[in-house]
Structures are given as C-alpha cells and as structure tokens.
C-alpha cells in the first residue's frame, strides 16, 4: 500500500513539473504539438505499470493512429488517447480566489474537454475495440469536469486523470476477463453438514444405516399406559 501511494505521489509531482514545463513552452511560443507530447509522456509513464505485452503504442485503427491501446482478455483492445486541453486556464484556476471567476474558468476548461469527445470516440470500432475509448487528461483538467462525464458516456468515452489511469484501466480490464461459471448445485448449510458427520460417526448415515449400526442392539419401543 505504501509503495502504491509513493508511486501516485511521484506521478503527481511529475505532472506538476510537466504543467510548469507546458507553461514555459507556451510562453516561448510552443504550440499544441509540444503540449501533446508532454501529455503523451505522462500517460506513457502511468501505463508503464502494466506488463509490456498489455500495452500497444501507436495503434492504427481505420487509418487513424491512437496513442495507446490496452490489450483486453477478450481479444479486443481499449483505445487510450491523451489530451492536454486548456492547461493554462486550469493553472489560473488554482490561483483565482473569486468564486464567480473560478466557476467561469472551470466552465471554459470543461467546454474544451467536451469539444474533444467526438475525436476520441472515433477510435471505437465494434469489431476491434471495446465499446468505449478512454481520454486521459491532467488532474487539474479532470477536476473541472462535471457534465462532461455525462456527455462522455453518451459519446462512449471514459474521461480519466493521469493519476487514476492505472486503477481505472485495471477495472476495465477485469470487467472483460472471463468469469468462472458458478455451480447451480444448492449449497448445504453448515448445520446439515455437521449433523451428517455426527450421524456417520454414530453409525447412522443420512442415506441409510452403515455397517457400524448393526453392532448396536435394537431397543424395542415401549408403549406408555395412556397410549
């Protein structure tokens, strides 16, 4: 548990450093490509917790290239795309103290996220992929999403933060794993099992008398006078 918490804390610090780096990139005139590469590297670090054969990079689907794909137990894949929308606005949100201004900034971030849903949903292919795709975003952006989750559900997209990518993806992976068929035979109660053991020990099994029962003399029944 402590090891897992340590990894999450390390990933959070990495994201904060990347967010600062993105701010410097934008200040120096860097474009969306540089921001996208920073987000892709963060997601790659998170997916590094999985075995190498479970994660495919640059998965081609219908002429389009998805950054990552998680191999599922049923033979299909789960498309995973990293998005880094409006990080600069999310950073301003952390410093803003006015509630009205904070809500306006949050709405702006969420609007940009909603505008990316259709792009990620395009990776869903019923014959090759799971019935949904994953959009991974920075934690600060994820905190701004409210109605975006409902719209994402309708678009067959699951929005996750970088820090929650590993547990959420594992939950999706486990949900597609084949389950062992449960027996339809009714389970006997503990009381019945103990009773049957006692009967066998005294020589009267539940399915008839055992050989041990013949060693005990039969006791004739006595009728009471008032019968």
Distance of alpha carbon 173 from alpha carbon 55, whole angstroms: 12
Which of the given ranges, 19-23, 40-44, 48-52, 220-224, has the highest pLDDT on average? 48-52
- Residues 77-135 have pLDDT tens digits of 999 999 888 777 888 888 889 999 999 999 999 999 999 999 999 999 999 999 999 99
Strands, E assignment, the chain: 55-61, 64-71, 77-82, 133-137, 157-161, 204-205, 208-209
Backbone angles phi, psi at 225, to 5 degrees: -65, -30
Tokens 């090891």 -> residue: 3
70 bridge partner residues: 55, 78
Backbone angles phi, psi at 97, to 5 degrees: -105, -25
Structurally, at CATH architecture level, domain 7-175 sits in: 3-Layer(aba) Sandwich (3.40)
Q: Which residue has the higher pLDDT, 10 or 99?
A: 99
Q: What residues does each domain of the chain span?
A: 7-175, 188-216
Q: Which residue has the higher pLDDT, 8 or 137?
A: 137
């Amino acid at each position: 548990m402590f090891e897992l918490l340590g990894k999450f804390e390390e990933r959070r610090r990495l994201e904060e450093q990347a967010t600062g780096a993105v701010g410097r990139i934008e200040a120096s005139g860097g474009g969306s490509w540089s921001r996208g590469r920073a987000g892709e590297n963060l997601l790659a670090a998170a997916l590094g917790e999985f075995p190498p054969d479970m994660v495919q990079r640059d998965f081609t689907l219908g002429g389009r290239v998805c950054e990552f794909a998680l191999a599922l137990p049923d033979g299909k894949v789960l498309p995973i795309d990293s998005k880094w929308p409006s990080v600069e606005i999310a950073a301003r949100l952390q410093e803003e103290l006015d509630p009205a201004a904070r809500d306006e900034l949050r709405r702006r971030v969420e609007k940009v996220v909603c505008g990316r849903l259709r792009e990620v949903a395009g990776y869903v292919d019923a014959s090759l992929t799971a019935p949904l795709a994953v959009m991974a975003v920075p934690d600060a952006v994820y905190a701004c999403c409210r109605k975006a989750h409902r719209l994402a559900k309708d678009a067959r997209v699951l929005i996750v933060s970088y820090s929650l990518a590993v547990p959420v993806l594992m939950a999706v992976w486990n949900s597609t794993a084949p389950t062992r068929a449960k027996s339809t035979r009714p389970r006997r109660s503990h009381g019945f099992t103990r009773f049957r053991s006692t009967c066998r020990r005294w020589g009267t099994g539940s399915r008839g008398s055992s050989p041990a029962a013949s060693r005990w003399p039969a006791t004739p029944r006595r009728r009471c006078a008032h019968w």
